[in-house]
Structure 1
Amino acid sequence: MRAQRIAGEPDLDAAIGPFPRLVVVGADADLAAVLTRLLRAERLDVEVAYVPRRRTRATRIYRLPAGRRAARRAVRGSAQRVTLIRDETGSVVVGRAAWVPPDGERVIHGEAVVDDTTLFDGDAAGVLVEPTLAMPGLRASLQGRWRRWVTGRAAQLGSTGVVVLRDGVPAPRPGRRSAFYRNIEGWLLVR
C-alpha cells in the first residue's frame, strides 16, 4: 500500500489516479474533502476507507472503528455503498452540518423544511443536519436543549442570513439560502 500526504486539491486529484481504494487518515472534514473531490470528478466508484485516530461523529453515524481497528479494516474490509449527503455547491458532509446565525446575530430568521415537513418558520437559534446510514438519507433538528429529529431526503433553508458549517468548517461567507440532500449515487465505504 502506498502512502501519500495531501496538501491541496491538485495533490488529491493526483492521489485518486488509478487507485481502486483510498484510505483517509484524519478528521471528518478530511474525509468530506476527499469525497467532495471524488463527487466532482465523478469517481464515486473508488472505495474509501476512513481511519480517524479517535471516534468522530462520522464513525458513529457509519458505525466505524477508530485507531488500529480502523487501520486493519481499511486494509481487509469490503466496500458497501452508503448514502452520500451533499449541498448545492457539491460539498459533501459526513459528520454534521449546521446552519448558524451570522456574526452579530442571535437567531436565524427564515424557514427550514425537510422534505414536506416544516422544521421552523420564523426564528431559530440554529439547525443541525446529519447523514443517516438508513434511507431516506439525512436528518435535521433545531439546535437547543431538546432535539426532535426529522428525517428526509433533503433539508432546505431560506433566510435573511446564515453561515453554513460543514463538518466544522465554515463557508467562506454568509448566504441566504442553503440545501443539503442525498445524492443519487452513494459512496463506497470500506467497512
Structure 2
Amino acid sequence: MTCLVLACGDAPVPPRLAELATVTAPAVPAKPDFDELLPRLDELGERSTSAPRLIVVGEDAALAAALTRLMRSERLSVELAYVTATRTAATRLYRLPTGSPAADLAVLGRAAPLPLVRDDSGTALVGLATITGPEGGELVGETYADSTRLFSGTVRSVRVAPTLEAPGVRATVGRGWGFLGPRWTGARAVQTGSTAAVVTRDGVTTPRSLKRCSFYRHPQDWLLVR
C-alpha cells in the first residue's frame, strides 16, 4: 500500500500516520495545494502495483476538497481515507471511526466504490448540504428530487446528502424547526430554484445567494476506505 497524508489546518495527526509522507495544507485546501500534491500521488502510483491512497486528516470540507480535485483531474482511481478527531456528517454517513481507530483503518482498511455526488459548480459533496434563504432565513422557491416535487413555496430549509448506493443522492425538506416525513427522498438529482438560495456544503457556505442549485450523481464512483 502506497499512502500519502494530507494534513489540513490544525487537525491533529495520529501517531499511526506520523511516519508516512505528509503534505500540509489549510483547513480547506485549494487548487494550489493540490498542484503540489497530485504529482506526488502520481509518482507514488508509478512506483507501486497498487492504487495510491490519499489519507485526508481534517474536516468534511477537506475531504470534499480532495475528492473534488481527484474528480476534476480524472484521478478517481486514487483511494481516499478519512481521519478526523470528532464525529461529522461524513463519518456518520459512511460509519467511519474517528481518532486513532480512524488512522488504523486508513492504513489497513480496504477501499470500496461509492456514488459520487457533485453540484453544478463541479464540487463534490461528501457529507451534508443545507439550503436556506439569506442569513439562514426561510427558503422561497421549489425543490425536485428527480420528478418528485419536494416543496413549492416557503420552507425552513432543504438538506441534501449522498447515499451509500443507488440512486446516489437524497433530500429532505424542513418546515418550522423540524423535518417532515417521508424523511428522505432518494434520486439521481436534486434541483432547487429560488429567489435567493444560500448553500452550506460540508460546512462551507457560498459567498452569495443563488437562483438555482443542483446536486446529482457523477457518472463515475469514488473509492473510500471503510
**What TM-score do you get using the length of structure 2 for normalisation?**
0.80
Match of 2:167 in 1: 136
Do the aligned partners of 1:52 and 1:66 also contact (CA within 8 Å) in 2? yes
Deviations 1:45-93 (CA, angstroms, capped at 9, x unpaired): 1110000112211011111111111101111111111111110001111
Report the more deviating stretch, 11-20 or 125-134. Answer: 11-20
**1:159, distance to aligned residue in structure 2 (A):** 1.0
For residue 60 of structure 1, give the secondary structure of its aligned residue in structure 2: helix
Question: Which residue identity does 2:198 align to in structure 1?
Answer: V
Q: Which residue of 2 aligns with 1:64?
A: 96
Work out whether residues 172 and 179 of structure 2, in 8 Å CA contact, stay in contact via their aligned partners in 1. Answer: no
2:21 paired with 1:6: no
1:118 aligns with 2:153: no
AA matched with 1:3: T
SS of residue in 2 equivalent to 1:185: coil
**Alignment length, in residue pairs?**
190
Q: Which has the higher contact order (CA 8 A, sep 6+)?
A: 1
Q: 1:84 aligns with which of 102, 107, 116?
A: 116
For 1:165, the aligned partner's letter is T
Using the TM superposition, give the Cα deviation of residue 13 of structure 1 relative to its aligned residue in structure 2, in angstroms. Answer: 2.6
Q: Deviations over 1:80-125 (max 9, x none)?
A: 111111100011111100111013x832221100011101011111
CA distance in 2, matches of 1:16, 1:59: 25
Aligned to 1:161: 196
Partner Cα distance (2:160, 2:37) in 1: 30
Give the TM-score, by structure 1 length: 0.94
After the TM superposition, which segments of 4 or more aligned residues of structure 1 sit over 4 Å from their partners?
A: none
- Secondary structure of the structure 1 residue equivalent to 2:96: coil
Q: CA RMSD in A?
A: 1.3
Q: Distance in 1 between matches of 2:130 and 2:37?
A: 30
Amino acid of the structure 2 residue aligned with 1:164: V
1:39 aligns with 2:58: no
Q: Is contact 1:48-1:188 (8 Å) kept?
A: yes
When Rg is computed on C-alpha atoms for both structures, the one with the higher figure is 2
- Please state if 1:152 is matched with 2:187: yes
Q: Is the 8 A contact 2:114 2:221 kept in 1?
A: yes
1:51 to 69, 79, 83: 83
